[in-house]
A = this chain, B = another copy of it.
Amino acid sequence: MSLRMTRQREVVASLLESVEGFHSAQELYEMLLSDGERIGLATVYRTLQLFSEHELVDVMRNADGESVYRSCQAAGRHHHHLLCRKCSKTIEIDGPTVEQWALQVGARHGFTDIEHTIELYGICSNCRATAGANTG
């Protein structure tokens, strides 16, 4: 690829691999700052967009409609996510079932080129155990 590898892009890529779960551009930006890195917010946005275009990161929208990113181990591989509403723990989901379902539903209605957005939200077992104890 013709991507010029700069310090900024390296640290963004590096950060993405060192953190768990999904994070917004703003969050990543702040992490970088407190990490002592010199980088602009716009650059973080541009880098994240670039990475996602090249399928180097996994992108999804959180409940607020904001874009959140994560290093994509399963790059290029289609999958979805199950995320805890309390602790934000995220689990990657492989759903041949839904994939099939989506295609079938689409086909049944005469649609082609089916794509889909699927996100699952719930309370993980850990948070369930401490339910009500961490409201904040």
A contact set with B: CB distance below 8 Å: 61, 63, 65-67, 82, 84-85, 91, 93, 95, 97-98, 101-102, 105-106, 109-125, 128
Contact = CB atoms under 8 A, between A and B. Distances in A.
- Number of chain copies forming the complex: 2
A11 to B, nearest CB: 27
Contacts of A123: 111-113
B101 A97 contact: yes
B97 A120 contact: no
Contacts of A128: 110, 112
Given A66-B65, A102-B120, A105-B120, A110 B82 contact: no
A106 B85 contact: no
